[in-house]
Structure formats: C-alpha cells, structure tokens
Chains A and B, each alone.
Chain A
Amino acid sequence: MLISYQKKNKKKHHHLISSQLHSSLQKELLQFLLECCVGAAEPFYHPRRPHEVFLNPFCRPACQHRCKTRSASSQVYSAVQSVVGSLHMAHTEWKDAPGLPDFSLLKRLARDQLIFLLEQLPGKKDLFIDADLMSPLDRIANVTILKQHEVDKLYKVELKPIVSSSDQLCFLIRPRIQTVKWISDLVNADKVAGRFRRYKIIFTPQKFYACETVLEEQGVYGDVTTDEWNFYILPLDDDILSLELPEFFRDNFLEGDQRWVTTAGSALRLLQSVYGSFSKVYGIGRCAKMVYESWRELMEDGEQRTRQPEFAKVFLVDRDVDFVTPLCSQVVYEGLVDDLFRIKCGSVEFGPDVTSSDKSIKVMLNSQDKVFSEIRNEHFSNVFGFLSQKAKNLQTAYDKRRGMDIQQMKAFVADELKGLKQEHRLLSLHIGASESMMKKKTKQDFQELLKTEHSLLEGFEIRECITYIEEHINRQVSMIDSLRLLCLLSITENGLLSKDYRSLKAQYLQSYGIEHLLTFANLRQLGLLEEQQAGETLTVMESKVGKLVNDKTVGKLTDAFSSLAKKSNFRALSKRLALVPKSGEEYDLRVPRDMAYVFSGAYIPLSCKLIEQVLERDGWTGMEEVTRMLNGQEFAVTGGSSSSEARSKTDAQRIVLVMFLGGCTFSEISALRFLGKERGCRFIVVTTAITNSSRLLEALLDNSA
C-alpha cells in the first residue's frame, strides 16, 4: 500500500511539473501573440508563478490603457485568432448569429505538449500508436512533425509481437489494460532475450491507476517511463468538439465504469481555462451530474477567473436519457453520409462507386467545404435539387469566361478559377455520394424501414411492425438494423410482451448465433431491449418509477446501475413534449418548421427538445413531470462568476455549449443548428464521440473479443 501512496504522490508531483512545463509553452505562445498585437514584449507573468500567465494577461490593467476602444482581452484574443487560427467564424451564414470562438488553439496546445513529450525521450525512436488514435493524431500532428522530433518509424498497435530494431520504443496509447499488458509482455520478452531498450508510454488523455497496477503486476514498472498527453478535445469543426472516446459509452453506461468521468470534467475545465467561464450550467443524467461535480472540483483547485466568458451556458446530457434518437435512421445529409460511409474523425472515404473512378478519395467534411457546409443540414430529399442548382450556378460562373477580354480573363484565372475548380471537384464528389445514397436509400426496403420506424415512434400499427421486424430477422437483412428495430420497438412500447420478446429473440439467435445471448443481456441491462413483466401496464410502471425516484438511495450518485428503474416512458414523454407531430399534416421538408425535419417531420429528437425547453425556461421548472419520467437527475446551477455580466447581451451570451456524454449523432447536431438559427444563438456540441445507430449497437455486442 505504501508504494501506491508514493505513487499517488509522485503522480501529483509529476502533474505539477508537467503543468508548469505546459504553461511554459503557453507562456511562449502568449508572449508571441502579445508582441504581435500590443507591439511590446512585456512580461506580464509573475516569474515565480508562471502558471498564472495564461489566465492573467487578459485582464491585466497595464494592457488596458493601451487600447482604448476595445478591451485588452478582445484585442489579445483577436491576435490569437489571427495568428493561430485560419478558421473563420461563420458570421456570414446567419446575420444574427454570434461568432464562435476559435478552437484551433486547442489543437496547437495539444501539439505543443506532444512535441514536448516526444522530446523527453531524445534520440531516434519508434512510435507505436493505438489504432483509434491514428486519425485524431493526424489532425494534431502529421507525420512530418513527428519525424522532425526524431520519430523513426510509426506502427499501429496491433497487440501482436513487434518487429522493431530501434533501441527506444515510444507508445502513444489510450489507457487500456489490454494494451498495457501487451507492452508489459513486450518488455518481458525483451528481457528474456537479453535485449536492452528504453520504453516510454504516453497515455492519452490521462493515465489510470489500473494501468500502473498492471505494469506493477507484470513486473515492468521500473522498466518503462510513463507520461500523460492531456489531449482532451479534438475540434472536428467550428461547432463540434469531440473527445474521441467511443468507449465512453460502453464503459460508463454498460460496465458501470466511471473512469472517463474525470476526463470529461477535465475537458470542460480546459475549455473554461482557455475560453472563459460559464454563467449557467444545466444537465440531466447521472453521468452528467458526476461530470459536473468533477469539473467543479477541478475548478476549485485552480484559480478563479474573471474574464469575459465565451460561452453563456452549458448543457450536459447523458446518452441514456435519449436512446430513441440515435436509434433512428438518419435522413439529413451529414447523418446519412455517416450512416452509409462512416465519417471518421471528420473525414470520410468515398469509395469507387462515389468517385466514379477506380480509387477511393478521402474528403474532409467540415465547414471549409463550401458545398458540404450548405447541404450538411438539409433533408436528403432536398439535397439533389440543391446540388443540381449549384451545378448550374457553377456552369454560369464558368461561362462568364465567354466574351471576356484578355485583362478580364487574366483576373478571372487569378481570382476565381481556382475556387471554381475546387468547388467543382467537391460538387462532383457530393453528387456522386448522393447518387450512391439514392441507389441505396430509395429502394423499397428503405422506405418500408422508415415507415416502420415512424409507426413505432407514433405507436401505430405495432403488430405490423413486429411482423416486419420478424421478417427482417428471418431474411438476415442486417444484423444491426434488426437489433435497432427491436430496441426501438422495446423503448417506444416500454418493453416487449413476453411472448414477442421470446420469439423475436429466438429468431434473432437462429439468424446470428447464440453469442448474441450476451448482446441481449447487455441490451437488457441498459434498458434498450426488455421483456415486460407480466401485469405491468404502463401506469403501474410509472408509479413504480415515481416511487423509486423519490427513494433517496436510488438518487445517490454511488449507485451506477440506474437501469433497474429505467423504463423509457417514451410514449408519455412524447405526448408531453409533443415529440411526434400530428400525423396527416403535410410537412414541407424544404422549409423546416421545427427540429422534426431531421427525421422527415416524424419526430423531434428528445435530447434536443429537452435542451430547447430548458433554455427557454432557464431551468427545469415546469418540467417536473418530464424529469420524473426521465429518472430525475436533473440540475441547473448558476455559475459563480460574473452574474451581472451575464445579463449583458454580448455575443458570448448566445453561445450554448452542449455536452453529450456517450456520443451524439449528426442528426442531433443538425437539429441544434436549426434551433440556433431559430433562436438567434449558436450551439457548440461537445461529445465523447460521434455516434449513430450502428456504432451505438456495435458497442454493445459481446463478440468473442
């Protein structure tokens, strides 16, 4: 035990050092920025307390008199943007919308720290990277940068014996026991072979005690050095920040393993320390509450800040508050691209069927892509028309060449042609993608699938739906889709009748194998797919839930398993929040009326509706019934700082940060963008990962792995 204390202390100590070093990087950066903007290199940090530097320059009185019209902070800040950021705020899109902060600063911070860590192991080294860290890493530091810092060869971690001749091995990994064990085996194998190497493990975003325990148990604790790369947030786009932790969902909600809670808290703290504090925090869900607690604790440890906040409000929401939304088929362009082609870390690989050539093309999908940024939030049915209009415009732009004199032509080639060509390229890609989607999605099957989904959401013709699902399973159409429909059925119906449950489950197992017994066990634990207990009607269930929620022991944070009391109550919720618009009304998808457009007008995402309601009411008052059905665990806290400032109508006050714990879908992001447009505010989505129905369910499969 003594050892572990010391280790704990060491860790603390180390943390201190690393934070100081880190701040020295920040110091450098800020110094540079200040020089650019104020014109004088004046040290504004206390030499003995360098960690304050990042916090203080913005409110330093000495700066203020220099710039009379704008506050010093905004001036410095704009320098940050002009120097570091190339991303423009998307002002132009919506007139009334507030500008978004520049998140590329986060990338730069992460990169600087990584470089620093790599240099801690001087000399040539081979770098092993966790497979799922490859893409995020690429967005932070590409191969050239790594090579500049003496990374010799790059390998993917494959949990197999390695073939590296380097004397220094560096591992950049997620803190997973399995990977650490693999490294331990490696070290031990080297020891047996009498080979001497230096090993360094860089855990990101943090290391866990369990990993160190493994190193200790395997007897290699002294042979490796460990470090942390505090890479918490990857900005995927102007308004999407991702923690890139897909395992968050399973670990937290299924396994009851809360180790990522502090990570999420740290991510919020990072945002706060870079972009300013929040005036109000709302949240719902057990995990949300814990993340908030962890964040608050971290804030108490650190200094208080007084600068103008960049975001007004934060909304934390657990994925298990709303399982319906991610289980629905996505029909908004971006979501559809994700469902069909799988967007990975903000980029997608379009195969030959899209590119109409024999090779695949990797495309970044974000607001930089002018074509994509205009269609990403559109219902798929509009996309084609839009694209053809766009193609016509492009043609017109090209056609301008005719009748130009030489001078004009020169200007055209210099200024416009490149842009047009670029647009042309993107346009043809997206047209290709849409065609490919059309082929897949306008088929009879897909229409029927959507029809079934909509019936389930409305609670209409359930028998037909069950028959449809049964056929779906029997025909082995798609393992994940069948499961998805089953879950949707269970949630919307508050569990399946025993008879149906058994027969469907048996059918499913016959189709896809008995190992899915475990999948079903997982789904039941999460409350995604359940068997109704005999005699439990909806009302009985509701009163039971009510009782449980009142029971304090259930409300206690310590109990990780909420599923016992988790009946979805979807139907009642849907009624109360008017999630499903009345059927029979025409819904013009070209001119969306509400957020339901992201599901063809059939359903307003529950998560987004909650956010809308809470922001409108500035809290949970009046929604007691709803929160009761959602299992309580809601909270609303007014931030400690700047309550008077909060009332001033700055841009910042209209930026809302929404954090999805356990992943969010592109449909939800689109819905929030729509909501923002309606309300004249902007949403920034922070998510543990981008998810969709397949990812969600795949995370719950229990394969032999």
Chain B
Amino acid sequence: FVAYRGQTELLGPLRKIELYEMGWNLKDGLRECLVAAAPYGGPIALLKGHYRRSPSARPQLEIYSSSGLPLASFPWKSGVVKQLGWTVSDDLLCVQEDGTVLVYDLWGGFKRHFSMGNEVSQSQVLETKIFHSPYGTGVAILTGALRFTLATNIDDIKLRRLPEVPGLQEAPSCWAVLTQDRQSKVLVANGSQLFILDNTACTPVTPPGLSPQASSIVHMCVSFSYKYLALLTDSGHVWMGTSNLKEKLSEVDTKIKTPPKQMAWCRRPKSQQPSAVVMWDGLLIVVGECKETIQYHLDDDSVLVPELDGVRIISGTHHELLQEVPGACEEIFKIASMAPGALLLEAHKEYEKESQKADEYLREIKEQSLLSEAVRQCVEAAGHEHEPETQKTLLRAASFGKCFLSNFPPEQFVSMCRDLRVLNAVRDYTVGIPLTHTQFKQMTVQVLIDRLVYRKLYPLAIEVCRYLKTPEYQGVSRVLKHWACYKVQQKEESDEVIAKAVSVKLADAAGISYSEIATKAYESGRTELAIKLLEFEPRSGEQVPLLLKMKKSPLALSKAIESGDTDLVYTVVMYLKNELNRGDFFMMLRNQPVALSLYKQFCKHQEQDTLKDLFNQDDDHEELGNFYVKASYKDQRLEARVALLQSAVDEYYKAKNDFSAKTTEDEMRLLRFQRKLEEEKGEQLVGFSLHDTMTTLLSVGLHKHAEQLYKDFRVPDKRFWWLKLKALAEKEDWEELEKFGKTKKSPVGYLPFVEVCIKHHNKYEAKKYVSKVTPEQKVKAHLAVGDMEGAAEAAIERRNESEISTVLSRCSATTDHLLMERLNRAKATAVKK
C-alpha cells in the first residue's frame, strides 16, 4: 500500500480517510451535546447543554456543515428535546419530551411542527429514533407507557400505535426500526428476548446461532439498507446476520462487557464481508468475519454516522470516513499487486520517467489481454479516492492505457472525470458535503443540486448544472427559480429592485415559472411584488390562479381572456360568480365582452333566467326582445306565446326598433287569427308563416279568409298573385284560375300563368295565356307551350338575335326544317343590323 499517504489510514480491510479538520471551535468537544448528523454528508446539529435542566441556562442549538462551518445558532426556547434528527431533505427534526416534533430548515428557520399524538404527550417520550425509508423520513417513539408510536413519513403523517410487547416492565434494553415488506417495524430486545412489532402483531423471534452465554441484548443496529442486523450481547459478543433473522453471518467476541455508546454497520454495497463498528468511550472496535477485531483509539468524544458505504466518525476536532477498501483500490494499491490496474499504474509511472519499463509492464498486461480491464480498474479506483492527486494519477494512467486500445468506449472515463470534478468541488471545505462516489451515484445529480440550492450555493449549483450539461429545464432554470424565490423574501430590498434583479437574471433561462416565484412573494406578504413578477409569466394559465388568490380578480379576468384559453376564463367567471354579488358580477362581465359571451353561452343551456337578467342589466332591449321571441316558440300554449311576444314588442319599442316591434305585433295578430280559424275550420294553422297560412287557406278553398289576410297584413300584390296562382294550379281549378287572371292586370305578368299550367301538364290552359304575355316574354311563353312556330314568329318579329338562337337550339333538324331556314335568315339580318 505504497500509494496511500497522508490522510488515509488503513485498518485491515478498512481504510480511514480524514475528511476535514472541523472548522468549529467547540470548547468541550461533543461532550454533553445532543448530536445529529445527516447522512450523505449532510449538516450536523448540536444541542449544547440540554442535560442541565435549569431554566436559567437555555440550551443552544447550533447547526454546522460537515466541515464544521456554522450555518445557524440560536438559543432553544421550547420544551425539553429528546432527540434531534434530519429528514431526507435536510430539515432538522427536534423531538420534544411531550411528543411535539419541531421542524427547522438548514438555516435554523422554523418551518412547522406536528404532534405525535395525545397518547405520546400524556405518557411522555422515553426514547426516539428518526429513520429513513423509501417513503420518506419517519419518527418512532417509545413512550413512558412502554408503547411504540410510529409515523413512517413526516410529510404525510399517519400515526400508528404498535402492539404491546408482552412482559415488558421497564424500558427495553434496546430497539431499532426496520423497513421490511414495505412496512416499518420495530425490533425490540427485552433482555434476551427479541420481538418484532408490526402493525398488527408482536412476534417473538430468535436470531439463529446467538451464543447462549448472553442473557441480554444490550445494543443493536441495522444496516443502511435495512438488510443486515448486528446485536451486541451483555457477554460482549457481536452477532451479525440478516435483518430477517434467517441467517447468521458471523459472531465475534469483543471481550468488552460494558455497554457501548454507539454501534453502526460499516459496509459497502455488494460487499461480502460483514463488518460493524462499535464505539465505547475512547475506543472503537471493528468486528468482521474473522475472530480478530480491529481496535482503534479515539482521543475525543465522537459520533458515528452510518452511511451507504461506510461510517463517518465525527469528533470535536476531526471528521473521518471509515470504509471498506473498495475492490478496485485494493487491487491496485495492494502491495505487490499484479492486478492489471496496478500494472498499468506502474507502467504509466515508468512512462513518466521515460523509462522503457513502461513498455514491459504494458506488454505484460496486453499479453493477458487485460488492458481494458486495467483501464476500467484505474477509472473506478479514481472514483473511490478522495485525494485529488491520487485521482489524477489514476486517471492519467487510465488515459495512458486507453491510447493502446481501439474501440474502448470513452463514456466511463469521461463521466468519471466529470463526477470527480463535481465531487471535489462539493467536498471543498467551504461547501462541506463529503460525498463518496458511491453515495453521489445513489443520490443523483438532481438531489445534489437540490442540496446545493438549499444551502443557497446558487452559483456553485449553476456551475455544476452547466458543467454536467443538465438540461436547462431541470438544471440551471430550476436553480435560478430557487434563487429568485429566496430573493423575493429579502425584505430589505424594494419591490422594483427585486423585480428587476429577478427578471434580468432569469431573462434567458428556459422553463422558468414566474408564478411560483410570485407565489413565494405573495406568501411572504409582498402582493405588489407578486403582481410585478407575474407580468413576466408568459403562461396565463399560471398567472390566473394566483391572481385570484390575491383577490385581483379584474386582472385575473383580463389575463385569462388574453390567454385565449376559454377554460381559464370560465374558471375565473365561475369564481367571480360565487364571490361577487350579482350586480358587481354583471358589471365586471360587462367590461369584458369575451367573458360575457362565454358566460352567455353557458347560461343559454344552464340558466336561461340569468341570461335575461344580463340583458336587463345592460339595458339591451334588442337582445331582450330576441330572447322573448325565442322563448315564445318554446311555449306550446297560445296565451303564453302571445304574452311573450307582447314582452318582446315592449322591448323592441324600448330599443327603438319599430320594425321588429311591428313585425312582432303582426305575428301576434296572425297567431290569434290562426287560432280562431283553427277553432272554426279545424285546419292546422298555428305557427305557420303568413305565406304558408295563406297557401293553406287557398288550398282548402278559404279564399275569403286568405283575402282578408292579404288586406290586413298588406301583403304585396305580387306575392298574393304568385300564391293564388300556385294554389289554384295545384288544385287544378283552371276555371277559377282563369277568373282570377281576369280580375285585374296581373302584377307578375302572364308568363307565370303559362308556366304554372305547363307544370301541371295542361297545355290547353297554358295556351290561353300566351297571348297576354308581354312582348319580351313571348318567345319564352311560346317555347313553354311547345309552339315552335309561334316562338319563331315572335323572335323574328323582335329581331332579337339571342332569342332567335334560343329558338334555333330547340328546333329539331328533322321536323322543323323550314322553320330553321327562316330563323337562320332572320338571324343573319339581325346580326347585320
């Protein structure tokens, strides 16, 4: 292990890396402190002096980054804190004696609180554990009544009270929370007995092969993944096995019988070796598969923070990571390793020295055709190293090896370089997030960016996004949005300044939701700023709900209309309808024709009466008139129809629309007339138009009544003549037709008489009228009755070329030979003229 220098120390199969020298300055170290450190290199919270229960000395709550830089500090004013813990999203939970849980943000800002239930507050909290599961962060409480209460997700609290543990007289010797079968369970040890508590039952369990000397289990811990369990017995034995208690992995005697301070699993994913760390005052023992333990002295009071791939040890002065040596690193750095990676590293070293040995090493790898494996090893090992120099050496070696490979996919190398650059940046003392590569991969870039944003490290977050080429929508824009949300809460700056700053910064970022920022502003009591910010929001759909919330309904309405999204307009309109009184509501609509017409559409089907009110409000008598006319058809009863029409007439007069009013009055008269006739003559008439009424009357021979209508309604002569003509022809009442034709000079001429007769195939009658037809229509009339000669005569007489042509086209060459000659001659002369 030549390569490990400086801050890395080897402990058998484990290695210990010094992450930071702590930046805090704690007088008494971690003694008498309640400490909680968040996993994944999260922040550390300390509650100092909470053991001294004197009212005069308030305990101090302090929050630090992993490197010990202060983030927040304030005196604790609430109740007695039993436990501190962090949520998965880096919020601090403080569980009080009475079961109240207070939630603070990273910066010590109070966010909210919740209670763990009445029962807890009555019987007080005895012990608490905060745990993480796929469902979020949970809180488990052991109450003074020796009962467990559990909430699996603090963001969606469903309290569960677990069944009683039989025979439990005093606090159990130890307990832990497990997540199994999609359920959170509690594992309790009462002396040597072990129980699993789930929602419904309390099941006694026995760990297979637990050494019989033990009379009590004094400590237990569950691995990060909930897959493994370690138990420490009063005989000093550590039993390690799977958490379902089906399999034992090993058992080791620590030879120490005093109860330890803390115990944690130290295991990387997929490792075959179980190893746990047990800590006493000043002593740390690592137990593994073999009987031998590794012991290690601690100078200072320390806290173990279990991680995905190791354990962090935080003391008053130092912050270290204890982890199993990753496979690739071991292969490469083991003394006298002949692994391909090791050889490649060596080869590169020689190459740097310009020694020909480089070639020898390289050859050796190539002969076994393991070069790609070697490169892979180096890249992987680089990922697990914390020292940038070591990383660089390994990466250079990998790059060197890559030169001799064709078709080696570059992705792994490239992404490792990127990852390391990001990791080194966040591990920096000033940032203080000591992530390992494994943790980083597990956590994902998204979450890392979230954490940076949460720590208000906006520039760094943006750098990371840009560097990793995260799509703007998920990367830079999101960071900027958070920045803006933070910015709008800065009370000391004026609305204008903030709005400007925000718009300048966010101008060209894609997918920014200004409405979210505006919501933030509104929530922090800055309505004016919120409105200003909403101006930048291009999507009206996002603006409108917030504007409504801020009671800016006129603005919301016009924004909705501007969007062209009718659904949005309806949303506002319906809101206003419920919110405002009717008058104001109508007034509001009146100024917005689009909204008004949409609402009218709605009313047409849903609320007819509202429609009327709307027209009334607007003094729109014309529309009201139309409304009544429309309503009148819907009513079957004559009286109602007439009444509605009367209302229409009134409205039309008010609208100064004399024409419509008169017409409607006529209609009322017509209706009455129709009804009267219906009663007298039994003809179906009501609802017919004037024209149809007259036609019907004529067709049934009620000429007198038709005449009456003709006079009463000032029907134009032409219409009446057409009507009568048609009706008589229909009835084939030729006698009456002839009489009618002689009453006076026909206002429609006599051609229609001819045509109507022809239509009913009465050539004989038709001919009677041909002579009466005006000269212009003579040709047509003759043609209609099929009198070619007459037609020809008339056409020639009129010397009209086109008429002659018409007649010509109707002649047939065989029968009308002579006629055609005559016509052609006449045509010739007509053209000449």
* A256 and B691 contact, Cβ closer than 8 Å, known pairs A5-B545, A558-B558: no
**Which of A294, A511, A512, A558 has a CB less than 8 Å from the CB of B594?**
A558
Question: Nearest chain-B residue to A516 (Cβ)?
Answer: B689
A209 within 8 A of B: yes
**Contact A514 B691, beta carbon cutoff 8 Å:** no
Question: A residues within 8 A CB of B748?
Answer: 471
Question: A residues within 8 A CB of B664?
Answer: 514, 517
C-alpha spacing A300/B626, complex, angstroms: 44
**Contact B564 A213, beta carbon cutoff 8 Å:** no
**Contact B571 A294, beta carbon cutoff 8 Å:** no
C-alpha spacing A475/B597, complex, angstroms: 38
**Contact A502 B689, beta carbon cutoff 8 Å:** no
**Contact B570 A213, beta carbon cutoff 8 Å:** yes
C-alpha spacing A560/B589, complex, angstroms: 13
State how many angstroms separate the Cβ of A221 from the closest Cβ of chain B: 13
* A209 and B571 contact, Cβ closer than 8 Å, known pairs A258-B594, A259-B566: yes
A141 within 8 A of B: no
Question: Nearest chain-A residue to B717 (Cβ)?
Answer: A474
A646 within 8 A of B: no
C-alpha spacing A521/B626, complex, angstroms: 8
State how many angstroms separate the Cβ of B689 from the closest Cβ of chain A: 4
C-alpha spacing A476/B600, complex, angstroms: 34
C-alpha spacing A316/B660, complex, angstroms: 38
Interface 9-residue window, one of B196-204, B627-635, B808-816 = B627-635
Question: B residues within 8 A CB of A293?
Answer: 564
Question: Nearest chain-A residue to B664 (Cβ)?
Answer: A514
B residues 668-718 in Cβ contact with A at 8 Å: 687-692, 713, 715-716, 718
**Contact B663 A509, beta carbon cutoff 8 Å:** yes
**Contact B593 A511, beta carbon cutoff 8 Å:** no
Question: Nearest chain-B residue to A257 (Cβ)?
Answer: B601
C-alpha spacing A513/B692, complex, angstroms: 9
State how many angstroms separate the Cβ of B648 from the closest Cβ of chain A: 9
Question: A residues within 8 A CB of B602?
Answer: 177, 210, 213
State how many angstroms separate the Cβ of A298 from the closest Cβ of chain B: 11
C-alpha spacing A8/B578, complex, angstroms: 18
Question: B residues within 8 A CB of A28?
Answer: none
**Which of A8, A217, A475, A560 has a CB less than 8 Å from the CB of B571?**
A8
B residues 537-586 in Cβ contact with A at 8 Å: 538-539, 545, 548, 558, 561-562, 564-568, 570-571, 574-575, 578-579
Question: B residues within 8 A CB of A226?
Answer: none
B719 within 8 A of A: yes
Question: Nearest chain-A residue to B601 (Cβ)?
Answer: A257
Question: Nearest chain-B residue to A214 (Cβ)?
Answer: B606
**Contact A557 B606, beta carbon cutoff 8 Å:** no
C-alpha spacing A557/B564, complex, angstroms: 9
**Which of A209, A512, A517, A560 has a CB less than 8 Å from the CB of B626?**
A517
Question: B residues within 8 A CB of A258?
Answer: 564, 566, 594, 598
State how many angstroms separate the Cβ of B246 from the closest Cβ of chain A: 34
**Which of B606, B660, B687, B688 has a CB less than 8 Å from the CB of A181?**
B606
* A294 and B597 contact, Cβ closer than 8 Å, known pairs A514-B663, A518-B626: no
A-B contact count (CB 8 A): 144
A559 within 8 A of B: yes
**Contact B630 A4, beta carbon cutoff 8 Å:** no
C-alpha spacing A632/B259, complex, angstroms: 88
A353 within 8 A of B: no
- Binary interface profile of B, 612-641, with partner A (CB < 8 Å = 1, else 0)? 000000000010001001100110000000
A515 within 8 A of B: yes
A255 within 8 A of B: yes
State how many angstroms separate the Cβ of B609 from the closest Cβ of chain A: 15
C-alpha spacing A561/B690, complex, angstroms: 34
Question: Nearest chain-A residue to B687 (Cβ)?
Answer: A513
Question: A residues within 8 A CB of B592?
Answer: 558
C-alpha spacing A160/B294, complex, angstroms: 86
**Contact B629 A514, beta carbon cutoff 8 Å:** yes
A16 within 8 A of B: no
Question: B residues within 8 A CB of A178?
Answer: 605
C-alpha spacing A1/B578, complex, angstroms: 9
C-alpha spacing A474/B690, complex, angstroms: 11
Q: What is the interface size of chain A, counting residues whose CB is below 8 A from a CB of the partner?
A: 53
Question: B residues within 8 A CB of A213?
Answer: 570, 574, 602
A510 within 8 A of B: yes
Question: A residues within 8 A CB of B486?
Answer: none
C-alpha spacing A27/B716, complex, angstroms: 71
A residues 244-303 in Cβ contact with B at 8 Å: 251, 255-259, 261-262, 290, 293-294, 297, 300-301
State how many angstroms separate the Cβ of A258 from the closest Cβ of chain B: 6
**Contact B722 A475, beta carbon cutoff 8 Å:** yes
**Contact A4 B629, beta carbon cutoff 8 Å:** no
Question: B residues within 8 A CB of A509?
Answer: 663, 689-690
- Chain B binding surface, main DSSP class: helix
Which among A177, A290, A474, A560 has the highest number of chain B CB atoms within 10 Å?
Answer: A474
State how many angstroms separate the Cβ of B523 from the closest Cβ of chain A: 15
Question: Nearest chain-A residue to B566 (Cβ)?
Answer: A259
**Contact A300 B663, beta carbon cutoff 8 Å:** no
B667 within 8 A of A: yes
**Contact A518 B629, beta carbon cutoff 8 Å:** yes
**Contact B566 A208, beta carbon cutoff 8 Å:** yes
**Contact A209 B564, beta carbon cutoff 8 Å:** no
Question: A residues within 8 A CB of B634?
Answer: 704
State how many angstroms separate the Cβ of B621 from the closest Cβ of chain A: 12
**Contact B716 A474, beta carbon cutoff 8 Å:** yes
**Which of A8, A177, A474, A558 has a CB less than 8 Å from the CB of B722?**
A474
* A558 and B548 contact, Cβ closer than 8 Å, known pairs A4-B571, A177-B605, A255-B601: no
State how many angstroms separate the Cβ of B688 from the closest Cβ of chain A: 7
Question: B residues within 8 A CB of A515?
Answer: 629-630, 633
Question: Nearest chain-B residue to A9 (Cβ)?
Answer: B545
State how many angstroms separate the Cβ of A52 from the closest Cβ of chain B: 11
State how many angstroms separate the Cβ of B673 from the closest Cβ of chain A: 14
**Contact B561 A517, beta carbon cutoff 8 Å:** no
* A517 and B565 contact, Cβ closer than 8 Å, known pairs A256-B593, A510-B719, A512-B689: no
C-alpha spacing A390/B484, complex, angstroms: 74
**Which of A214, A255, A294, A512 has a CB less than 8 Å from the CB of B564?**
A294
A702 within 8 A of B: yes
Question: A residues within 8 A CB of B659?
Answer: 502, 505-506
State how many angstroms separate the Cβ of A489 from the closest Cβ of chain B: 18
C-alpha spacing A262/B606, complex, angstroms: 24
* A474 and B598 contact, Cβ closer than 8 Å, known pairs A511-B689, A557-B562, A558-B561: no
**Which of A251, A476, A517, A557 has a CB less than 8 Å from the CB of B629?**
A517
Question: Nearest chain-A residue to B568 (Cβ)?
Answer: A209
**Contact A208 B606, beta carbon cutoff 8 Å:** no
Question: B residues within 8 A CB of A650?
Answer: none
State how many angstroms separate the Cβ of A482 from the closest Cβ of chain B: 12
A613 within 8 A of B: no
**Contact A560 B597, beta carbon cutoff 8 Å:** yes
Question: A residues within 8 A CB of B539?
Answer: 297, 301
State how many angstroms separate the Cβ of B572 from the closest Cβ of chain A: 10
Task: Give 25 A-B contacts (CB < 8 Å), ordered by A residue.
Answer: A8-B545, A208-B566, A209-B571, A210-B567, A214-B606, A255-B600, A256-B598, A258-B598, A262-B565, A262-B566, A294-B565, A297-B539, A474-B716, A474-B718, A506-B663, A510-B689, A511-B691, A513-B688, A514-B629, A514-B666, A518-B630, A557-B562, A558-B561, A558-B594, A560-B594
Question: Told that A1-B578, A208-B570, A256-B593 touch, could you supply 17 new A-B pairs with CB distance under 8 A?
Answer: A177-B605, A181-B606, A214-B606, A256-B598, A257-B601, A258-B564, A261-B564, A297-B539, A470-B718, A510-B689, A510-B719, A511-B691, A513-B692, A517-B629, A518-B626, A558-B561, A702-B630
Interface residues of A (CB under 8 A from B): 1, 4-5, 8, 177-178, 181, 208-210, 213-214, 217, 251, 255-259, 261-262, 290, 293-294, 297, 300-301, 470-471, 474-476, 502, 505-507, 509-515, 517-518, 521, 557-561, 702, 704
What are the 9 tightest A-B residue pairs by CB atom distance, in nearest-first order? A256-B597, A513-B689, A259-B566, A209-B567, A704-B633, A177-B605, A474-B719, A514-B667, A209-B570
